[in-house]
A = this chain, B = another copy of it.
Amino acid sequence: MTDRTPRSSAPRRSWWGWGTEDRALSDGECAALGALVPGAAGTPLPVPGIGALDLPGARVAPPASLAPLMSDAPRDRASHTYGKAYRDVVRALHGDLAAAPDQVAFPRTEQDVVDVLDWAAGADVAVVPYGAGSSVVGGVEYRGDRRGGVVSLDLSALDRVLDIDTTSRAARIQAGALGPDLEAQLRPHGLTLRHFPQSFEFSTLGGWLATRAGGHYATLLTHIDDLTQSLRVVTPAGVDESLRVPGSGAGPSPDRLFLGSEGTLGVITEAWMRLQDRPRHRASASVVFEDFTVAAEAVRVIAQSGLHPANCRLLDPGEAALAGVAGGGRSVLVLGVESAHLPVAARLAELAGLARDHGGRPAEGPQGEDRPAAAASADSASSDAAAAAWRSAFLRMPYLRDGLARMSVISETFETACTWDRFPALYEAVHRDLGAVVRRVTGAPGMINCRFTHVYPDGPAPYFTVIAPARRGSEVAMWDEIKAEAMRILGEHGGTVTHHHAVGRDHRPGYDAQRPEPFALALRAAKDALDPAGILNPGVLVDAARR
């Protein structure tokens, strides 16, 4: 099969970095960005051309029956080598593609998926399921020396909404559908999945399900798990399809075994997803706090109020500055409320009142009003100035991250969730202990920012951004040292190794320490039962008896 070229009208996806090539920063923009970071390199790393890449020879060729589905074109192999973590982008920029898959399979039907797995099991080929490659945890990157070679299984051709039940508000959607594509297919019915991770534009339903993705909304239904009615999963031991019901108490949930299984137990091909009416009422407001810990306490009160804000995003001063939110050196809390059926102004007023009662004061600039939102894009939950600024920066952030990577500036994030009683110590330890590591490793003060991406009655999901200049050529080693310390701190302070970025290969040490050992036994046994040849995403989550 020849190189997959995008539809002529669509901008081409970057093979090495985030999103589309047309939105990547220019060399000049990279340099200007780097100039803001003391100690950054003076010139950007060049982006290697596909033709110049030193790809290893493909060790395996598909059988004739599967040849039409497979590609070993350099661009396909290069673009499927890594996910989109900082360390992935840096390695791609340095032309380090030794881990490239031998083949990329593009199944067009579920039967194609079955056929690829059957062949792979017999030929001892490792299969790495691939949605749109937005993993930031090494989830789609094979590491090892599989005798039979490695196939990246790209589900992007399975991108259709197959069925819509408007009565029960649910849709059967293929796993390879990108966020915008599935929303476009639901919109004519007045419905939305309402799941907007930061990667929305460049990630798929199947990827969200396999990694327990977190959406944009801050409370209540945060993870994709909660929106899942039933799954269809191709495993080497057969196709698993769960019953489509609104709730069940019949044994342990079959779906919850596959949600978060990260391609190790099977390949999710489709799902019935719970939908919602599209919001028609929205309002937002921003509140500033002099002190982040006071703000966190106010957010706790809000999270425990039962008011369920759609947005409840607390930015510390550094994060607010980075996002261009006018906080004036203070912490900013962006609150948003929305509803398909009911006016929301009163609820927003209650929320803002709680924030003010607990040490906040209204931000300057225009505040959002309750307003009909029919014309607004479905994932735009905010209307006040801070919210709008934040949102714009939020979507631009991965491109900026790539620009910083080209300037050899470490710019990466890690996230967690912990109970409220543990949060103050965890927050302090990250700043103190990780800050010390950043200084030691990079020789520069660096910057560590924090925001809350989600909040629960029993605790927040803090999200940290680390920015520091690295030594060119040592970026990955330096980041890995910082990352190991971050995992250690989270583990020591009661935080999960990941709230919504998944485990993949990068989080294995923290995951192995966190996961109860009997559960590991059970998961390994389930893996061996469903994937007896051990072909599925080896090295992720759990080691099979046969790797």
Contact = CB atoms under 8 A, between A and B. Distances in A.
Contacts of A521: 237-238, 526, 529-530
Interface residues of A, number: 96
A257 B518 CA distance: 11
B458 A274 contact: yes
Given A250-B496, A251-B261, A256-B256, A242 B519 contact: yes
A237 B522 CA distance: 10
B418 A246 contact: yes
A340 B457 CA distance: 13
A417 B517 contact: no
A247 B261 contact: no
A528 interface: yes
B457 A274 contact: yes
B459 A245 contact: yes
Interface in A204-240: 211-214, 222-223, 225, 229, 233, 235, 237-240
A249 interface: yes
Interface in A247-273: 247-254, 256-262, 265-266
A544 B249 CA distance: 21
Contact of A342 (B350, B419, B499, B516): B350
Nearest to A277: B304
A444 to B, nearest CB: 31
The count of identical subunits is: 2
Interface stretch (A5-13, A469-477, A500-508): A500-508
A340 B421 contact: no
Interface stretch (A16-24, A161-169, A372-380): A161-169
A242 to B, nearest CB: 6
B247 A420 contact: no
A279 to B, nearest CB: 10
A306 B342 contact: yes
A419 B522 contact: no
A542 B500 CA distance: 32
B458 A170 contact: yes
A300 B167 CA distance: 9
A108 interface: no
Contacts of A246: 417-419, 456-461
Contacts of A248: 212, 417, 496, 498-499
Contact of A518 (B266, B417, B503): B266
A284 to B, nearest CB: 17
Contacts of A518: 233, 235, 237-240, 266, 530
A266 B538 CA distance: 28
A520 to B, nearest CB: 9
Nearest to A274: B458
Contacts of A457: 168-169, 246, 274, 276
Interface string A390-430: 00000000000000000000000000011111000000000
A142 B236 CA distance: 35
Contacts of A421: 165, 167-168
A494 interface: yes
Contacts of A211: 249
A514 interface: yes
B458 A249 contact: no
Nearest to A541: B251
A312 B417 CA distance: 33
Given A240-B516, A242-B519, A497 B250 contact: yes
A252 B502 CA distance: 10
Contact of A419 (B245, B500, B514, B524): B245
Given A257-B519, A456-B247, A528 B525 contact: yes
Nearest to A235: B518
Interface in A182-202: none
28 contacts: A165-B419, A167-B420, A167-B421, A212-B248, A229-B419, A229-B458, A240-B516, A243-B494, A243-B496, A245-B494, A246-B418, A247-B461, A248-B417, A248-B498, A249-B260, A249-B499, A249-B501, A250-B260, A250-B507, A251-B511, A251-B515, A251-B542, A253-B260, A256-B256, A277-B304, A305-B341, A521-B526, A521-B530
Given A233-B518, A256-B256, A306-B339, 15 more contacts: A167-B419, A168-B458, A212-B249, A213-B249, A229-B419, A237-B518, A240-B519, A242-B519, A245-B417, A247-B417, A250-B514, A251-B542, A252-B257, A342-B350, A523-B526
